[in-house]
Amino acid sequence: MGSQSDWTTMKHASDTLTALGVPHETRIVSAHRTPARMVEYATTAQSRGLKVVIAGAGGAAHLPGMVASMTLLPVLGVPVESHAMKGMDSLMSIVQMPGGIPVGTLAIGKAGAINAALLAASILALNDPDIEDALDAWRARQTDAVAEVPVDSPAA
Ligand SMILES: Nc1c(C(=O)O)ncn1[C@@H]1O[C@H](COP(=O)(O)O)[C@@H](O)[C@H]1O
């Protein structure tokens, strides 16, 4: 993530990966504030054994695209909700990549962070039956939870 202030959003990605039993690391790396660290992180990610990168950033969110430009790993971008523009700036700056350097862009905020983790797990599950089983169980729990909510319960 681009800043420690993104953690309240990106924690949902980390928590979801933990729930699925997916080993992962969390780092603060900024294309703007720590460009050398960002280059180091992106260019060594694959050789360190990482398989997918989830990059969350807000505002002028260049981090996901810059990381994607320096690795062949799949990069999933999470637009963190900004105060000034409610995350529309983050979304537009992540989703509008030029053709040739893709970033798989998720929704703004918590839902995007959770879905980035689920999508990363789906990618890993192609070669990992344990993660596939964990995703199956996660979906089943979600289905049960929705089915059990009475229609007249107060909105969450
Ligand atoms: N968008 C980026 C990048 C980047 O794209 O490299 N680095 C930091 N930031 C964002 O700046 C916002 C405000 O950061 P601060 O709260 O630290 O001022 C955060 O949402 C962060 O992701």
Domain 4-145 = CATH 3.40.50.1970: yes
- Residue 51 near residue 20 (C-beta atoms within 8 A): no
Q: Which of 6, 83, 89 to mutate to test the pocket of ligand 1 (most atoms within 8 A of CB)?
A: 6
- In the reported structure, the alpha carbon of residue 31 is separated from the centroid of ligand 1 by a whole-number distance in angstroms of 9
Tell me whether residue 152 is annotated as binding. Answer: no
Q: Which residues line ligand 1 (CB under 6 A)?
A: 1-3, 5-6, 30-33, 57-63, 80
- In the reported structure, the alpha carbon of residue 18 is separated from the centroid of ligand 1 by a whole-number distance in angstroms of 24
Model ipTM value: 0.98
- Predicted confidence at residue 90, as pLDDT, reads 98
pLDDT digits (tens, 9 = 90+) for 73-126: 999 999 999 999 999 999 999 999 999 999 999 999 999 999 999 999 999 999
Name which of 57, 11, 107 is nearest 66 in CA terms. 57
Q: Using the atom order of ligand 1, give the atom closest to the CA of residue 57.
A: 22
Q: Is 8 helix (H, G, I), strand (E, B) or coil?
A: helix
Tell me whether residue 33 is annotated as binding. Answer: yes
Tell me whether residue 37 is annotated as binding. Answer: no
d(CA 58, CA 14): 17
pLDDT digits (tens, 9 = 90+) for 139-152: 999 999 988 888 88
Instruction: Give the DSSP per-residue string, 115-153.
Output: HHHHHHHHHHHTT-HHHHHHHHHHHHHHHHHHHHS-TTS
- In the reported structure, the alpha carbon of residue 86 is separated from the centroid of ligand 1 by a whole-number distance in angstroms of 14
Domain residue limits, the chain: 4-145
- In the reported structure, the alpha carbon of residue 29 is separated from the centroid of ligand 1 by a whole-number distance in angstroms of 9
User: H helices of the chain, where?
Assistant: 7-19, 35-44, 63-69, 88-95, 110-125, 129-148
d(CA 1, CA 144): 32
pLDDT digits (tens, 9 = 90+) for 8-58: 999 999 999 999 999 999 999 999 999 999 999 999 999 999 999 999 999
Q: What is the DSSP letter of 93?
A: H
